[in-house]
Copies of this chain bind each other. A is one copy, B any other.
Amino acid sequence: MVTAIVMVQAERLRIQETAEALAAVPSVREVYSVTGEWDIVAIVRLSEYDHLDDVVTGHLRKIDGIVRTQTMLAFRTYNEDMLDQGFGIGLDG
């Protein structure tokens, strides 16, 4: 399993629709509009490293409304078990 964290700068007037378009991409697991230097963060999860370029460079980065992206690729996921079990119960610690 390969995880990529894609930070997105979108056109100022189209942030919400760009975030929605990103959220509709099948491998995109989470999409947030965020504070700070970037407008949107999308978390992509793939079963194969070899699909990465097609999904990120070939598809995701071409979405309308995107100005610039920067990707951080996970070297390792530290709590993969938890990710398989979902969220929603007993959150705050």
Residues of A in contact with B (beta carbons under 8 Å apart): 1-5, 12-13, 15-16, 19-20, 22-23, 25-38, 41, 43, 45-49, 51-53, 55-58, 61-62, 66, 68-79, 82-88, 90-93
Contact of A32 among B36, B56, B69, B74 (CB under 8 A): B74
Chain A contact surface mostly: mixed
For this chain, the copies found in one complex come to: 10
Q: What is the distance, in angstroms, from A9's C-beta to the closest C-beta of chain B?
A: 9
A67 CB, min distance to chain B CBs, angstroms: 8
Q: Are B25 and A93 in contact (CB under 8 A)?
A: yes
Option from B13, B15, B35, B48 in Cβ contact (under 8 Å) with A35 = B35
